[in-house]
Structure 1
Amino acid sequence: MLFLYNTSLWLYALLLRLVAPFVPKAAQWTNGRHGLLQQIEHALRHENGPRAWFHCASLGEFEQGRPLLEAFRQQHPQYKIVLTFFSPSGYEIRKSWPGADYIFYLPLDTASSARAFLDAVQPELTVFVKYEFWYHFLTELHRRRVATICVSAIFRPEQAFFKPWGGLFRQILGRFTHIFTQNEASAELLRQIGVTQVSTAGDTRFDTVVAMAAAPPKPLPLLAAFVADGAPVLVVGSSWPEDITMLTPAIRALAPAALRVLVAPHELHESGFQQVEALLPGQVVRYSRATAETVGTARVLLIDSIGLLRELYRYGTLGYVGGAFGKGLHNTLEAAVFGLPLLFGPNYQKFQEARDLVQLGGADAVKDAEELETALKFLVYNPEQRLPIVAKNRTYVLTHAGATARIMAALP
């Protein structure tokens, strides 16, 4: 099994190198790792003092681990923090984040790279956020007796760890000093396969969004002008083309005066912008080109800038979270903390908070464009039905906060 694991990683890296000339993300992945171990060794060569290594797969995991990173920095200022990412979507956006002392890509998980990386970093504590179970890194950390923690982890019975052939993956879990799960069901699954260094702490993302909602809002005059007429505002967060296709009939079916729409695509591509403009001709203004006058008359404000989504939800009346008509739902908590009644597609079962919100009546999962239109019309034309949902969603988020404090109190 280890041979297959090593071979699959080698083939993965080879494939990315082959497609790099044609796929920008693959190029970032490969270029970012060119001479990486030498860069890390050089950067840390003369650094003194204890070090803590935090690893996040991508941007979502970074936001999940961010409250823990910030709490650790505050309580242990003597530590230098090394932050790594596997994906370009995390590294390229957060490579200048001031909360860490050093930020790198994670080298590919080979035995030699793991040894060289740890020789350079020499962490006294390592924290993996949610996912990323790398055999050689975790084995080498275990061999060196470095305290290695996994936080905000969530597990499902269909994962490889719980299959008869999943022995190697179960070994990987055994390398952690401790695993903090999001829920008790995940902790019980681990105990059933003999992984006992586990406890339930909750999901640190709740702490992230609670702090975000409590922070002073950023001055965004264009958004203020867009919502100035008082019409309900639908915030479409992290949308993909299939989400826009599903939403378009519902938006068309509502009178322009009845609903205004903020669209924040998950990926900022010209083709995606043009799709929105083509489906809703004459109704769309791009944020980068907008003025106070043009947003005042627009039906749809298309966000073609990075980093605004969290602030958008402050301006919303309703929320649609993208991804669940494709591979999987994006972050619902950023909208729920503001109390927005939520809509999303059918592929949400892997996300505990989405299941909870549906069960509470704070969110509605729709299977197609017709159901989406019906649900959206109901929420728009029945404002009195929105009020109890607002309270439910806010209360849900607030009562699930606190994972960061529980983890910090238990760190070795």
Structure 2
Amino acid sequence: MKKITKVSLAMLATATMLAGCGGGQQADNKGAAAGGGSKEKVKLSVWHNWTGQDAKAIAMRKILDDFQAAHPEVTLEVEGLPTDGLKTRLRTVAAADEMPDMFVMWPDAMTKEFVNGKLLQPVDEFLNTKPEWKNNFIPNALDGFTVDGKIYSVPMNLAPSSFIYYNQAIFDKYNVKVPKTWDELKTAIDTFNKNNVIPVALGNKANWVAQSTIFSTIGDRVTGTDWFLKAATQNGAKFTDPEFVKALTVLQDLGKSKAFQDGFNSIDENQMIQLYTQGKAAMFMDGGWALANLVKTAPKEILDTTHISVLPPVDGGKGQAQSTAGVVGTGMGMSKKVSGAQKEAALQLLYALSGPEGQKATLDSSTLVSYKIDVDKSKAHPLFVELNELMKNVKITPVYDSKLSSAAVEVINNGLQELLMGGNPEAIAKKIQDAQAGALGK
């Protein structure tokens, strides 16, 4: 997975909905013309997280390959890392001011940290040469990549992070309702446990999973979005407040009720999905990105009975019920050090991955995008059509790791592992509060 391969520029795309393959070379050629099309030999180091065999990862790697084939004057030095490994590696090289030339990065907190560290350069000038591209993103899609009025990337996908994927056949077998209330969720968990079915498969070895796919939504259900944004900025709220401690307790209670299988902190996201596709679990919680993996790897009999929902409201909570945590999606960052012909090539690659053709490839790979483009229902998998329709009535609320400092993200990720193993909610809340306040100098 971490093997470095040389590829020359090609495929990468994502924005309002993720897509599959194709069209990369044409988009690259257009980008080359717009950027001046220099034939000077250059190298570009490119880091990404498209390491799996899901349709999205395959589509993005194809864009890279196609771009390389279309641009023999550019040598791409490509390194793929799993998501958690990429985030850690980027922050390590950021501290040493040794960023790769191009890299997948996350909006909001990470983008701001890199800009404040003088590690990125804006792409406004290039974006403004293509208004038909820039103006076709969904409303507010560029906000997370905008700092002090300058745009540093565009989203290559749309990443709602918290859905319940459930097997209707298992629910029917045990006469269980798909939960619309918290009591119905608890009843479902109890019934499945009594029948030796895993209620909710969880793979939290890479400890961002519980935070991103479960707790960020539980937190919003309990505290409401306004409270979280105040706590994130340390302006009028603290993570030691009672409502946040309650949110931690709600997640811990799910663990105590045996909502998750034994050993959930020792298996990864892919193994989690395998428990579901093997029919051992009634549900799993994951982001919209999981669908590309699911439709490629799940047996037909599982896919045919799989549907998608969101967490029910928490009793007494302040948050909006029909919502999911998430962000507009990752973008490609460009190092401050890239210049000249190398910069021209980098901008061409940016367009190949996140321009109209890249967005279509992402969408065709059963991945949501932050771009105005329609799903071809005659070609898309029915489950992706279902997800796309669901998103029309679902609000996206902040995912914790997009708003908190990197120090606080590390603390909350570790803290949730501890919490689910019986840790004290008040003590964990204090650690998170101290980390965020310290990072902001408050």
TM-score normalised according to structure 1 size? 0.33
Structure with the larger RCO, 1 or 2 (CA within 8 Å, 6+ apart): 2
The structure with the larger Rg is 1
